[in-house]
Amino acid sequence: MRGEIRQIHPRKGGGSPGEPIPRRLAVIMAGDIAGYSRLMNIDEEGTHARLKRILREVVEPTIAEHHGRLVKTTGDGFIAIFDSPVEAVRCGIVIQQSMVGRNASVPAQQALLYRIGVNLGDVIVDSNEVFGDGVNIAVRLEGIATPGQVYISGGVYEQIKHKLVCGYQSLGDRQVKNITDPVRVYRVLPDPAAFMETQKRREIGFVVLASIVLLAIAGSLWYTMRPGRDLNVARSSAPAASAPETSRTTESAAAIAPSAAPAISPQGTSPASPQAGSFSPATPQGASPQPASPPSASPSVKEPEMAQLPGGSFSMGSNEDPSEKPVHQVAIKPFALSKFPVTVRQWNECAAANACEFTALGDENAPVTNVSWTDTKQYLGWLEQVTHKPYRLPSEAEWEYAARGGTQTKYWWGDQLQAGMANCKNCVAIASASADFPAKVGSFRPNPFGLYDMGGGVDQWVEDCWHRNYQGAPNDGSPWMDGDCVSHVIRSGSWKNDASYVRPANRDHYDTGVRYPTHGFRVALSP
């Protein structure tokens, strides 16, 4: 982002001098391309065309999907405004992960890499512009961000630290240009595995440091109490007393070490405090995070109700969207799929067994929501352990085959939208319990395979990694797992989407480790 964001005081449009300036608390995202001038020098027309395409195909729709508004573009950069810090950071993560795929096909020196800064502040919103220090801080965070990374301010961190499956690396207080007070800066670590590896290295460093300190203490004690240090003192005391006392002292120091070392976090604070660098899995409001102890089997666990599906061949995809092309034949082997998405009650059985990380909210007979692809693996691992059956996610091809129910029409019931057939925004007839949660499972008619909510209700994770179209897709119904898998496929559309999303052919994707309020899943079994 080039240049200073200008602050203004008089109202734009000729308001009276005494009229209050419209202000609001908002989340500002600033982004720009690192090394844009160098890239333009290499290939001016090509770089400009690629940037325009990325803005149109990645940045703008991702901002809209996360309930933000693109305020303006500035050459190689952009400014966006959000109401929610969680949605703003999710948006930044998705943009960066989408760029990984975009850059995979170009030489490293020609990659377009965004730097993104996110700040929460009181700003002036005037017509189609936004002004103030809140904007300037976002721009400064973007300016110091590493290419491909999202940097956030301390105010944003405090709002999201328990709500996303992310790590956060504290970069300390930074003095940024034209801002009086230092800004506390955090780097978002969207890959929990990478964060845990970093944390592990830090903990090893602290253990080594603690060991050195303890050795120094032990050496000091030995030097102080060594035989013959003070002959007169030694002769006036009991001959055998010093050795056992030294042993007891050394043992006491050693006994302190195991309890003291783990109590030190990378920031030197108690692990109980949610400080920077702590791993913060998303926990719904009012729910307590569950300790990560081994899951316990329970004979009272009710298995998902399964529908047995025959094998067959079908035409997968459609010509309605580029991501659904080319239409191709896929052969599916017989398998079983749960009649309903996994419910709040079923998920909370896993949470009660300390095998799933959070307790879900909502009606116990409604689909569980706000689940990441990574979360589904915890649930499936627990379900397999307590039932001794290899439950899994369906493949994308299996899901579409099941959703079509033996039909090849636009929807499983025909080519025209019919009211009351699915739980979506304009599929009215049966309303959801609230705007925040989907309707109970079984509230709508099943498809010809006896499956409910295979379109609408909740977005449903499948096993496959995301690919932007079906070029090279397997034709045997197996999951498509090559690639980086930083994002996975979701199907079905949700109660918050319109009818275009509930088509069996519709497909989308989301970052693998991030929870989203409309995302759920259902389970499958091979024979």
- Which of 12-21, 166-175, 364-373, 490-499 holds the top average pLDDT? 364-373
Residue 293 pLDDT class (50, 70, 90 cuts): very low
pLDDT at residue 261 in the model: 34
pLDDT at residue 256 in the model: 32
- Which of 83-97, 281-295, 420-434 holds the top average pLDDT? 83-97
Residue 125 pLDDT class (50, 70, 90 cuts): confident
State the chain's mean pLDDT as an integer: 79
Average pLDDT of the residues in 116-126 = 91
Instruction: Strand 459-465: give its sheet, edge to edge.
Output: 508-511, 487-491, 459-465, 519-520
Q: Poorest-confidence range of 109-118, 169-178, 188-197, 469-478?
A: 188-197
Helix (H, G, I), strand (E, B) or coil at 215: helix
Residue 206 pLDDT class (50, 70, 90 cuts): low
The two beta strands, 114-126 and 23-33, are antiparallel
* Structure-model confidence comparison of residues 214 and 476, the more confident one: 476
Instruction: Please tell me what DSSP assigns to residue 302.
Output: P
For the stretch 46-72, pLDDT in tens is 889 999 999 998 999 999 999 999 999
For the stretch 94-120, pLDDT in tens is 999 888 878 877 888 889 999 999 999
Residue 345 pLDDT class (50, 70, 90 cuts): very high
This prediction's pTM:
0.52
pLDDT at residue 252 in the model: 36
Average pLDDT of the residues in 461-483 = 93
Please write down the long-range contacts of 274-279, taking CB distance under 8 Å and 24 or more positions apart: 274/161, 274/162, 275/170, 276/157, 276/168, 276/169, 276/170, 276/186, 277/167, 277/168, 277/169, 277/170, 277/199, 277/202, 278/161, 278/167, 278/168, 279/167, 279/192, 279/195, 279/196, 279/199
Given a cut of 70, whether residue 126 has pLDDT beyond it is yes
CA neighbor of 80 nearest in space, from 144, 154, 166, 150:
150
Given a cut of 50, whether residue 316 has pLDDT beyond it is yes
pLDDT at residue 290 in the model: 44
For the stretch 152-185, pLDDT in tens is 999 999 999 888 877 888 898 888 777 878 899 9
Given a cut of 90, whether residue 353 has pLDDT beyond it is yes
pLDDT at residue 514 in the model: 82
